[in-house]
C-alpha cells in the first residue's frame, strides 16, 4: 500500500469521516455486528479517525482485539485521543502501516477495508498480504464508495480476489456503496 498523497484522505479531512450524519447513513454497529463476534481479533485497515474501530472494539469485548491501522500518524493520533482513559484503550492496538505494505505479522479473524481500497496503488500486492493476515475461517469486508469506484472496477476487484482463493459469501446492501464479504 504505497502512500499516494493525491489519493489518501488527508488528516485535515478527518472530520468528514467522523460526523453524526455519517453515523446515520453508515451505522458502524449495524454494519459490523453480523460479521464480528466477541473475542475476535479484527483489523480496521485504513482506520482513519477510528469511526469503525471504536464500534469494533465494543463488539469484540474485553478479550478481543482491534488493530487500527493507517498510513498516517495524524489519523492514529485521533484514534488514540478518542480511546484515551477508556476501557477501549486495552482493546485497540494502533498500528502504522509501512509506505508500501501493511506489514502486519499476526493473523486476524476479520478485516474491514472501508472506503480505502481505491486509494491503494498496488491492490494485487495488498490482496496477497490480506490473504496471509486472515485466519482460515476469517472474513474480509470491503466497502467502496460508488462515486469513486465504478461497478466494473468493483467487479474486476472481486475477480482478482477470487483468483487468489477468496470466495464471495455476501454483498451487503449499503447506501451509496458497493460492498462484498469474502472468506478464504
Domain-embedded: residue 2: no
pLDDT digits 0-9 by tens, 19-56: 666 666 789 999 999 999 999 999 999 999 999 999 99
Average pLDDT over residues 52-72: 97
Region label for 97, one of left (φ > 0), alpha (ψ between -120 and 50) or beta (otherwise)? beta
CATH number reported for the structural domain that contains residue 88 in this entry: 3.40.50.150
Domain assignment of residue 163, yes or no:
yes
Tell me the pTM.
0.90
Assess if residue 5 is contained within a domain: no
Residue 165 maps to a domain: yes
Residue 125: inside a domain: yes
Sign of CA dihedral 140, 146, 149, 155: positive
Q: How many domains does the chain have?
A: 1
Kindly give the interhelix angle for 123-133 and 151-163, rounded to the nearest 10 degrees: 50
Residue 120, domain extent: 28-183
Average pLDDT over residues 157-175: 96
Is the distance from CB of 144 to CB of 179 less than 8 angstroms? yes
Distance CA 54, CA 68 (A): 9
- Give domain status of residue 9, yes or no: no
Amino acid at each position: 500500500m504505497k502512500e499516494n498523497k493525491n489519493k489518501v484522505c488527508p488528516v485535515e479531512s478527518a472530520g468528514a469521516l467522523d460526523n453524526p450524519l455519517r453515523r446515520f447513513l453508515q451505522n458502524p454497529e449495524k454494519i459490523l455486528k453480523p460479521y464480528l463476534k466477541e473475542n475476535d481479533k479484527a483489523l480496521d485497515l485504513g482506520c482513519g479517525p477510528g469511526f469503525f474501530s471504536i464500534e469494533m472494539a465494543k463488539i469484540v469485548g474485553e478479550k478481543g482485539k482491534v488493530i487500527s491501522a493507517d498510513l498516517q500518524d495524524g489519523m492514529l493520533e485521533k484514534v488514540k485521543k478518542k480511546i484515551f482513559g477508556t476501557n477501549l484503550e486495552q482493546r485497540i492496538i494502533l498500528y502504522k502501516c509501512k509506505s508500501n505494505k501493511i506489514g502486519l505479522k499476526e493473523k486476524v479473524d476479520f478485516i474491514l477495508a472501508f472506503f480505502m481500497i481505491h486509494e491503494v496503488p498496488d491492490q494485487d500486492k495488498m490482496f496477497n498480504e490480506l490473504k496471509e493476515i486472515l485466519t482460515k475461517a476469517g472474513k474480509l469486508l470491503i466497502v467502496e464508495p460508488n462515486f469513486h469506484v465504478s461497478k466494473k472496477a468493483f467487479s474486476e476487484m472481486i475477480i482478482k480476489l477470487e483468483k487468489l482463493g477468496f470466495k464471495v459469501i455476501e454483498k451487503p446492501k449499503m447506501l451509496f456503496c458497493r460492498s462484498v464479504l469474502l472468506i478464504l
